Amino acid sequence: MTLWSSLRTILGFLFGRPQVEMEIEQELQAHLRKRADDLEGQGFSRGEAERQARIEFGGYQRYKEECREALGTRLLAELIADVRYGLRQLRRNFGHTAVAVITLALGSGATTAMFCVVDAVFLHPLPYRQSGRLVSFFSSSAGFPRNLPAPGSYAYWRTEKNLFEGVAADDSRSYRLTGDGEPEQLEVEAVSPELFPLLGVTPQLGRVFGPAEDKPGTDHVVLLSYRLWRGRFGGDPTLVGRNILLNGEKYTVDGVMRPDFSFPFSTSEAWVPIDLTPEQLRDRWDHYLNEVVGRLRPGVTLQKANAELLLLSQQLARAYPATNGGGMERFFVEPLRATYTRDARGGLLLLMAAVTFILLIACANVASLLLSRIEQREHEIATRTALGASRARILAQLLTESAMLAIGGSALGIVFAERSLGFLKALIPGDLVHSIALTLDARVLAFLVVVLLVSTLLFGSAPGMRALQFDLNEILKQGPTRTSRRPRLGELFVVAEIALSLTLVVGGGLLLKSFWKLRSLDPGFRSENVTALSLVTPTAQRFVDFNRRMALFDRILERVRALPGVKAAAFTSAVPLTWTGGGMIGTLPLTPQGALPRQGVDRVNDRVITPGYFEALRIPLYRGRFFDENDGPNAPLVAIVNETMARTYWPNQDAIGKQFKFGPATAPTPWIQIVGVVGDVRQMGLDQPPQPEMYLPYRQANGNYMVPQDLVVRTRGTLPGLGDMLRRLVWSVDPDQPVSKVMAMSELVNQDIASRRLRAFLLSGLAGMALILACVGIYGVMTYVVTQRTHEIGIRAALGATPDDIVRSILGCGARLTLLGVGIGLAGAAVSGRLIAGLLFGVKPHDPLTVALAAVLLAAVSLLACYIPAQRATKIDPVAALRSE
């Protein structure tokens, strides 16, 4: 037989089943009629003839069934019958069905949406060739476990040809783009030309760098990001080959990258060839390369590469003991994806676990719902069994109903998931936002199907198992009235739901409390009414001259301070909470005077500021004085240190008047005197403890790598339009000066904790969802318990039990389950608390207040869910309850 004909039969059967059924019926009826006609012709009466025809025909229904089987449609027919029967059942209990479908939709929707994020972030390949073999390099030394690479280290790594197909470096810079339009500060990445073939990316337009384009003379070429090309240049295709002005110099546009290319940061706007001088390539001291990426040779494992790199770092340590920064430096690589997803990992896995809990709760909910239904249907099932339905048939029919619920729930769940992708986008690690997209692709849908199958089995098997235990005789003997039986499985589900929800609620509570702690934490400065903006000038040719740069700052500050409503304004090399991405900024090794010789060299953050900085950010002065205009180039060198630095180097002493110098004690650098001690500022992020830190006056900072570039302005109240005002003001001083990152300081603070806020709110939202689901589930089971006990309660009432007695009895049952659930949940919360300890801030994983509140909340919700059915139980009329027997 051909595949086609059977397919046609099945299709015909699926879509035209009544017709096939009708044709069988018609044909058999025609036979009976003709036979009867013939028999009548032989002298039978009509009635006799019809009877005889039927007898000769044999078992009519049996042959009809055999005909269906011959058509190959019996299983299908059963399935369709089950589906129809199921639909009828589900429609008849519309309320139950709606609750079940919505519950499942929430569970499967949340799970699918989170899986979509996890899949995109951790499983989907990055948009590079064989992205799994790409690694990023780090160096670790005492106090700096994941330091950025120094160019001197990169020089060694790229010679490891046995390990890596290629190694490329990236140095993030900031270039001024001028000509046609307002001056703009660009985040430009200076990269090794081999980066592009190494990653395996091709441009949208034009070409990537040639191998020799990093040599002086040919290195004024640039690749633009798709976003810059569209935004600034209107997507002009003739731009390739033309020149643009970067820092006032002509750069030829070699090409435009694709929309999904952003390396290493999502904010990278253009790429130029890196121009590391031989001198820089010997520098193992300054760790400023933002990214060094390599491609493992086929067959080289991560372990092997790391073992070889460890060997290399040991060799270097022996060869150059003096320059081996801060004790033993050790190189290592990790997968590029791991570097990108490091910060997001814990949070995403936590949320994935949370949605799995939601799914489990949803399944438990639906299972208990179906369980209570199955008890009500025992008579129906017993009858069907008595009429010859096999156990397999009954199971199949119950599973069909469950599967229909699951399909309905999943369909609705897809809608939920699709809707939630919009805000779940915020969960993608910042630097991957252009590289990966959240879509409900085939893999996610396949995951949904698996979820669907598993959940069907989870909640569908419970009523199925129960149905198999039915004692046919007992049930049929009793008729359709209820037997009183404790729904043990249902009680088990209640306990499980309470335990799972409590675990989630505790987790959500801990994250919320962490967020709240962080929120109310003193960052060391006052962010309200402060606006920050960035004017990157340092490397511009025209400001290489220190005096010209000072003059520019002075002119700008003078005018800003003259604006009405401005209380204070100052420049700093970096406002707090910026530069948190890659690691330390401006860390200098130093030697405090009179300190005992220490192993290695100490490193301290330094910031170069103008007078007025502490006033603008309201950083408190503890001792000594602020900088003033007298701290000029010819005055004695001075510094202000933060409390942590004072305490670290001069414990139990007054740091004022103490001296330190940059570099080792023998270095020919001048001594610097401390004139002030200020409060600690959480520079690197609100959740990072303050580091030893110093401030240097900008008039004395000639030659310091750190150059003031960020302007902070404190105003009286919020001044609308201040950003534009400042921009215009800067351009009136220097029309070619780009102004970027104009932002309220409070916004920066919010951004710093945005990911924590999102995580805390999502998890609390999920915990709330769990709570509601559990509440519905408990309510369902308890209602059922009351229905089961109607007869018993009726007798009790008849024997004189008061409504209070009855409520107490029902609540007692609920309380027992609640206590058990809360106990298990607390154990679960203790385990999960330890697992999420890394995501907490200022809160212990077993924070007694949070745990106690969560337990009380859950117990209250659970008892409330029991109270309504208990109240209903008191309304039972003993006479009616007893008569129904």
Partner 1 sequence: MGNRAQILPGTLDLLILKAVALGPLHGYGVLLRIGQISKGALQIEQGALYPALFRLVRNGLLKATWGVSENNQRAKFYELTTAGRKRLQQEIKSWDRLVAAIGSVLSTRPEEI
Question: Is 2 among the residues that bind partner 1 (CB under 8 A)?
Answer: yes
Considering only residues 428 to 467 of the shown chain, the ones binding partner 1 according to CB under 8 A are: none
Q: Which is nearer to partner 1, 25 or 877 (CB)?
A: 25
Please tell me the distance from the alpha carbon of residue 575 to that of residue 582, in angstroms, as a whole number: 15
Farthest CA pair distance, the chain: 139
Please tell me the distance from the alpha carbon of residue 410 to that of residue 362, in angstroms, as a whole number: 12
Q: Which is nearer to partner 1, 68 or 373 (CB)?
A: 68
Q: What's the closest the beta carbon of residue 835 comes to partner 1, in angstroms?
A: 59
Q: For residue 245, how many C-alpha atoms fall within 13 Å in the half-sphere facing its CB?
A: 15
In order, the DSSP letters of 730-793 are HHHH-TT---EEEEEHHHHHHHHTHHHHHHHHHHHHHHHHHHHHHHHHHHHHHHHHHHHTHHHH
Question: Is 25 among the residues that bind partner 1 (CB under 8 A)?
Answer: no
Question: Is 197 among the residues that bind partner 1 (CB under 8 A)?
Answer: no
Is the preceding peptide bond at 735 cis, omega within 30 degrees of 0? no
Given candidates 19, 45, 48, 69, which one binds partner 1 under the rule CB under 8 A?
69
Given candidates 22, 25, 33, 632, which one binds partner 1 under the rule CB under 8 A?
33
How deeply is 426 buried, as exposed, middle or buried, from its count of CB atoms within 10 A (0-12, 13-18, 19+)?
A: middle
Question: Is 481 among the residues that bind partner 1 (CB under 8 A)?
Answer: no
Are 401 and 100 contacting, i.e. CB atoms less than 8 angstroms apart? no
Tokens 């805390």 map to which residue? 760
Q: Which is nearer to partner 1, 55 or 596 (CB)?
A: 55
Q: Which is nearer to partner 1, 24 or 719 (CB)?
A: 24
Q: By rule CB under 8 A, what string of x and - marks binding of each residue 72-111 to partner 1?
A: x---------------------------------------
| DSSP 3-state of 222 | strand
Given candidates 25, 66, 474, 528, which one binds partner 1 under the rule CB under 8 A?
66
How deeply is 448 buried, as exposed, middle or buried, from its count of CB atoms within 10 A (0-12, 13-18, 19+)?
A: buried
Question: Is 6 among the residues that bind partner 1 (CB under 8 A)?
Answer: yes
Q: What's the closest the beta carbon of residue 10 comes to partner 1, in angstroms?
A: 11
Residues touching partner 1, count (CB under 8 A): 29
Name the E strands within 593-643: 602-609, 621-624, 638-642
Question: Is 57 among the residues that bind partner 1 (CB under 8 A)?
Answer: yes
Question: Is 315 among the residues that bind partner 1 (CB under 8 A)?
Answer: no
Q: Which is nearer to partner 1, 72 or 664 (CB)?
A: 72
Q: What's the closest the beta carbon of residue 392 comes to partner 1, in angstroms?
A: 23
Given candidates 39, 49, 71, 417, which one binds partner 1 under the rule CB under 8 A?
71
Please tell me the distance from the alpha carbon of residue 836 to that of residue 828, in angstroms, as a whole number: 12
Nearest to 464 by CA among 376, 355, 391, 534: 391
Virtual torsion, Cα 661, 664, 670, 671, nearest 10 deg: 30
Question: Is 59 among the residues that bind partner 1 (CB under 8 A)?
Answer: yes
Choose the stretch contacting partner 1; rule: CB under 8 A; options: 68-76, 107-115, 593-601, 719-727.
68-76
Please tell me the distance from the alpha carbon of residue 607 to that of residue 640, in angstroms, as a whole number: 10
Q: 23 to each of 16, 71, 76, 81, how far by Cα in Å?
A: 11, 12, 17, 18
The residues near 29 (Cβ < 8 Å, ≥ 6 apart) are: none
Q: What's the closest the beta carbon of residue 44 comes to partner 1, in angstroms?
A: 16
| DSSP 3-state of 603 | strand
Type of residue numbered 283: D
Q: Which is nearer to partner 1, 2 or 634 (CB)?
A: 2
Choose the stretch contacting partner 1; rule: CB under 8 A; options: 25-33, 78-86, 126-134, 214-222.
25-33
Query: Which tokens go with 502?
Result: 């409590």
Question: Is 60 among the residues that bind partner 1 (CB under 8 A)?
Answer: yes
Question: Is 17 among the residues that bind partner 1 (CB under 8 A)?
Answer: no
Question: Is 522 among the residues that bind partner 1 (CB under 8 A)?
Answer: no
Q: Which long-range contacts (CB under 8 A, 24 or more apart) does 392-395 make?
A: 393/78, 394/467, 394/468, 395/464, 395/467, 395/468
Question: Is 46 among the residues that bind partner 1 (CB under 8 A)?
Answer: no
Q: What's the closest the beta carbon of residue 30 comes to partner 1, in angstroms?
A: 5
Question: Is 35 among the residues that bind partner 1 (CB under 8 A)?
Answer: yes
Question: Is 34 among the residues that bind partner 1 (CB under 8 A)?
Answer: yes
Question: Is 885 among the residues that bind partner 1 (CB under 8 A)?
Answer: no
Please tell me the distance from the alpha carbon of residue 654 to that of residue 446, in angstroms, as a whole number: 67
Please tell me the distance from the alpha carbon of residue 13 to that of residue 422, in angstroms, as a whole number: 42
Choose the stretch contacting partner 1; rule: CB under 8 A; options: 33-41, 274-282, 294-302, 454-462.
33-41
Choose the stretch contacting partner 1; rule: CB under 8 A; options: 65-73, 204-212, 626-634, 873-881.
65-73
Q: Strand pairing partners for 590?
A: 602, 662
Q: What's the closest the beta carbon of residue 84 comes to partner 1, in angstroms?
A: 23
Q: What's the closest the beta carbon of residue 32 comes to partner 1, in angstroms?
A: 9
Question: Is 62 among the residues that bind partner 1 (CB under 8 A)?
Answer: yes
Question: Is 48 among the residues that bind partner 1 (CB under 8 A)?
Answer: no
Q: Measured at the alpha carbon of residue 705, what is the angle toward residues 702 and 711, in degrees to the nearest 5?
A: 85
Question: Is 26 among the residues that bind partner 1 (CB under 8 A)?
Answer: yes
Please tell me the distance from the alpha carbon of residue 316 to that of residue 313, in angstroms, as a whole number: 5
Are 361 and 501 contacting, i.e. CB atoms less than 8 angstroms apart? yes
Q: Which is nearer to partner 1, 62 or 318 (CB)?
A: 62
Question: Is 19 among the residues that bind partner 1 (CB under 8 A)?
Answer: no
Query: Which tokens go with 235?
Result: 């997507």
Question: Is 56 among the residues that bind partner 1 (CB under 8 A)?
Answer: yes
The residues near 30 (Cβ < 8 Å, ≥ 6 apart) are: none
Given candidates 39, 49, 67, 675, which one binds partner 1 under the rule CB under 8 A?
67
Q: Which is nearer to partner 1, 1 or 322 (CB)?
A: 1
Choose the stretch contacting partner 1; rule: CB under 8 A; options: 58-66, 575-583, 627-635, 645-653.
58-66
Type of residue numbered 727: R
Q: By rule CB under 8 A, what string of x and - marks binding of each residue 532-561 to partner 1?
A: ------------------------------
In order, the DSSP letters of 513-557 are HHHHHHHTS--SS--TTEEEEE---TT-GGG-SHHHHHHHHHHHH
Q: Which is nearer to partner 1, 44 or 63 (CB)?
A: 63
Q: Measured at the alpha carbon of residue 631, what is the angle toward residues 625 and 634, in degrees to the nearest 5?
A: 150
Choose the stretch contacting partner 1; rule: CB under 8 A; options: 60-68, 360-368, 657-665, 834-842.
60-68
Question: Is 27 among the residues that bind partner 1 (CB under 8 A)?
Answer: yes
Question: Is 599 among the residues that bind partner 1 (CB under 8 A)?
Answer: no
Choose the stretch contacting partner 1; rule: CB under 8 A; options: 51-59, 105-113, 597-605, 607-615.
51-59
Q: Which is nearer to partner 1, 70 or 123 (CB)?
A: 70
Q: What's the closest the beta carbon of residue 396 comes to partner 1, in angstroms?
A: 24
Question: Is 70 among the residues that bind partner 1 (CB under 8 A)?
Answer: yes
Q: What's the closest the beta carbon of residue 45 comes to partner 1, in angstroms?
A: 20
Question: Is 218 among the residues that bind partner 1 (CB under 8 A)?
Answer: no
Please tell me the distance from the alpha carbon of residue 108 to that of residue 409, in angstroms, as a whole number: 7
Please tell me the distance from the alpha carbon of residue 609 to that of residue 640, in angstroms, as a whole number: 10
Question: Is 21 among the residues that bind partner 1 (CB under 8 A)?
Answer: no
Question: Is 483 among the residues that bind partner 1 (CB under 8 A)?
Answer: no
Choose the stretch contacting partner 1; rule: CB under 8 A; options: 55-63, 338-346, 388-396, 673-681.
55-63
Buried b (16+ CB within 10 A) or exposed e, 681-716: bbbbebbeebbbbbbbbbbbbeebebbbbbbbbbbe
Positions touching partner 1 (CB under 8 A) are 1-2, 5-6, 9, 23-24, 26-28, 30-31, 33-35, 37, 56-60, 62-63, 66-67, 69-72
